[in-house]
Amino acid sequence: GESVGLHLPTLSVQEGDNSIINCAYSNSASDYFIWYKQESGKGPQFIIDIRSNMDKRQGQRVTVLLNKTVKHLSLQIAATQPGDSAVYFCAENQGGSSNTGKLIFGQGTTLQVKP
């Protein structure tokens, strides 16, 4: 079946520390993954994506790692700031190209940043 899961429902970190949010997926044929940030009262906001032909991709303060062997991906946030507090979702794109497939979301990890 199709499922995307996150390991921890809540992650609490100190401001300035690095955060790591994990996600496991079940479909070994999946080839495109996206991390989203969702703040209260808003829709999911794109953070970073990665294709299965890559192991790592970096953005501004964020890095996504993909381990296809164990079907695991992670989102690393460097120097976590209070504005990073939100729910983070990994999503797997299925059934089409990167802009036409359906997204399968995990349940989300709530990141709490302590000042």
Partner 1 sequence: DAGVTQSPTHLIKTRGQQVTLRCSPKSGHDTVSWYQQALGQGPQFIFQYYEEEERQRGNFPDRFSGHQFPNYSSELNVNALLLGDSALYLCASSLPEADGYTFGSGTRLTVV
Nearer to partner 1, 86 or 91 (CB): 91
Minimum distance between the CB of residue 103 and partner 1, rounded to whole angstroms? 6
Residues 16-35, one symbol each (x = binds partner 1 by CB under 8 A, - = not), give ----------------x-x-
Please give the Cα distance from 87 to 93 (Å, whole number): 19
49 C-beta neighbours (distance < 10 Å), count:
17
Element (H, E) at 80: none
Distance between CA 115 and CA 97 in Å, rounded? 41
* Structure tokens that stand for 50 in this block: 């990665």
Size of the site for partner 1 (CB under 8 A): 25
Nearer to partner 1, 14 or 107 (CB): 107
8-state DSSP, 12: E
- Using the minimum distance from each CB to partner 1, give the nearer residue, 16 or 96: 96
Q: Site for partner 1 (CB under 8 A): which residue of 27, 45, 53, 84?
A: 45
Identified binder of partner 1 from the candidate list 53, 60, 69, 99, rule CB under 8 A: 99
- Least Cα distance to 7 among 113, 111, 109, 112 occurs for 109
Site for partner 1 in 59-98 (CB under 8 A): 89, 91, 95-96, 98
